[in-house]
Amino acid sequence: MAATTVYKEPAPRVANTENPLESMMSRFNIAAEILGLDDTTYEVLKAPDKQVIVHLAVMMDDGKVDVFEGYRVVHNTILGPSKGGIRYDHNVSLDEVKALAAWMTWKCAVVDIPYGGAKGGIICDPTRMSVGELERLTRAYTVSMKDVFGPDRDIPAPDMGTGPREMAWIMDEYSKTVGQTASAVVTGKPLVMGGSLGRTEATGRGVMVSCLAALAKLGMQPEETSVAVQGFGNVGSWAAKLLFDKGLKVKGVSDISGAYWNENGINIDEAVAYKNAHNGRLEGFAGADPMDPNKLLTSKVDVIVPAAVEDVITEHNAHDIQARLIVEGANGPTSASADPIINQKGILVVPDILANSGGVTVSYFEWVQNKQGFKWSLDMVTDRADRIMNDAFEKVYATSQQYNIPMRIAAYVVAIDKVAQTYKYRGGY
């Protein structure tokens, strides 16, 4: 066997001034202060319950064995089994996964579904691995996490770099280790093996629903509203498509290949068809002109939807934002240092833990269906998910009015309050 090497990749994806964990904690602290959270509960909620780090030796196609570092962080299980995706990316770090795990706790609490929060990650570049390598890596990760995962313990799902294919491998491998089919151990599965109708578009749909709810508060008409969407992966492309269907003019979109602009509005159906026919990339799309990707979020539009990675709105570009509304499709796209600038400019922000919670909401429906052994219709899924999103939006909006605080902090207040109240009933040692 050839020498073992630790898999490493170059170049961080953004020049970062603060890490997502710090950003998450600073909002948590503000909300805790507003709620007058007692010291014990603060200490309980501040740090994750469990952090598992594994090293996975995986045979690559060339016969060499590479060792990959993987994580699963369970932030909290006060509301129920922990829930959260698994990220495959070369920039994954433990701090990032810790922040993402805590965001899952708050997200599930905001939409009032009975889950705690968790997140997983593996440092790897899935775009440079073969299907066989990815399968071996995913199965190795699943076996190493067999005591963490479980249908009533910790339920993974897709995140950046993973999708239904990886979830199918996790379901299969976990089922083998427990000796029975365990569909409910993971969500975001392919439809044929217990996935839910509506799960693929769920996060983008929730972004659309919360965007329309926010436009109504601002007295803006969808047909007279322009939008730029950063990211054209699962979340961004579905958000763009559904906003386009509602009559918004999507003037700008971007993906890893660059950013694209059309002053008259991009036909998103054509953009999606182009992307699907061109390896998932928009490069060469004729329905829009290339533009500087760094200018997309500060372009002249009414709404921006950051739906890619963390920390893309920082103190460096927040001053230049022209939009009246930001709807956060990504987790943590705005660093905490940008919050005061955005608030001072009077921009309304539908924060990540509210705006992108449609994904985990339909994950919850998938889990319920698996446990029921019964399949829901698409209408049933979307009606219920839309209702949950709208109710959560109204609750967070009302809280922001009540305390005179931005919607981001209001979302944390709603979430932390729910978890803290439940903790009081459950009690500790």
If one asks whether residue 329 binds ligand GLU (CB under 6 A), the answer comes out as no
Residue ranges in 385-424 that form contacts with ligand GLU under rule CB under 6 A: none
If one asks whether residue 85 binds ligand GLU (CB under 6 A), the answer comes out as yes
How many Cβ atoms are within 10 Å of 364's Cβ, its own excluded? Answer: 23
User: Minimum distance between the CB of residue 65 and ligand GLU, rounded to whole angstroms?
Assistant: 29
Residue 319 CA from chain centroid, whole number: 25
* Secondary element (H or E) of residue 20: helix 20-35
Among residues 237, 425, 424, the alpha carbon closest in space to that of 329 is found at: 237
H helical segments located in 179-266: 199-218, 234-245
Range list of β-strands (E), 298-341:
303-306, 325-327
How many Cβ atoms are within 10 Å of 36's Cβ, its own excluded? Answer: 6
Name which position in 72, 83, 205, 418 contacts ligand GLU (CB under 6 A): 83
346 phi, psi to nearest 5 deg: 75, 20
Angstrom distance (rounded) from CA 265 to CA 122? 38
If one asks whether residue 96 binds ligand GLU (CB under 6 A), the answer comes out as no
If one asks whether residue 82 binds ligand GLU (CB under 6 A), the answer comes out as no
Angstrom distance (rounded) from CA 278 to CA 292? 21
Would you say 266 or 360 has its CB closer to ligand GLU?
A: 360
Q: In sequence order, what are the residues at sequence separation of 6 or more whose Cβ sits closer than 8 angstroms to the Cβ of residue 263?
A: 251
User: Minimum distance between the CB of residue 106 and ligand GLU, rounded to whole angstroms?
Assistant: 11
Span interacting with ligand GLU, options 134-142, 171-179, 299-307, 354-362, rule CB under 6 A: 354-362
Angstrom distance (rounded) from CA 404 to CA 424? 26
Q: Tell me how many residues contact ligand GLU (CB under 6 A).
A: 11
Angstrom distance (rounded) from CA 275 to CA 280? 5
User: Minimum distance between the CB of residue 422 and ligand GLU, rounded to whole angstroms?
Assistant: 19
User: Minimum distance between the CB of residue 332 and ligand GLU, rounded to whole angstroms?
Assistant: 10
User: Minimum distance between the CB of residue 367 and ligand GLU, rounded to whole angstroms?
Assistant: 9
How many Cβ atoms are within 10 Å of 95's Cβ, its own excluded? Answer: 14
User: Minimum distance between the CB of residue 429 and ligand GLU, rounded to whole angstroms?
Assistant: 29
Residues classed as catalytic? 119
Name which position in 196, 234, 299, 331 contacts ligand GLU (CB under 6 A): 331
Residue least distant from ligand GLU (Cβ): 85
* Secondary element (H or E) of residue 396: helix 378-403
If one asks whether residue 84 binds ligand GLU (CB under 6 A), the answer comes out as yes
Would you say 210 or 331 has its CB closer to ligand GLU?
A: 331
Name which position in 41, 230, 314, 363 contacts ligand GLU (CB under 6 A): 363
If one asks whether residue 157 binds ligand GLU (CB under 6 A), the answer comes out as yes
If one asks whether residue 117 binds ligand GLU (CB under 6 A), the answer comes out as no
If one asks whether residue 298 binds ligand GLU (CB under 6 A), the answer comes out as no
Identify the bridge partners of residue 5 per DSSP, sorted by sequence position.
66
Q: Which two tokens stand for residue 380?
A: 């049933």
> Which spans of this chain sit near ligand GLU (rule: CB under 6 A)?
83-85, 157, 159, 187, 331, 356, 359-360, 363
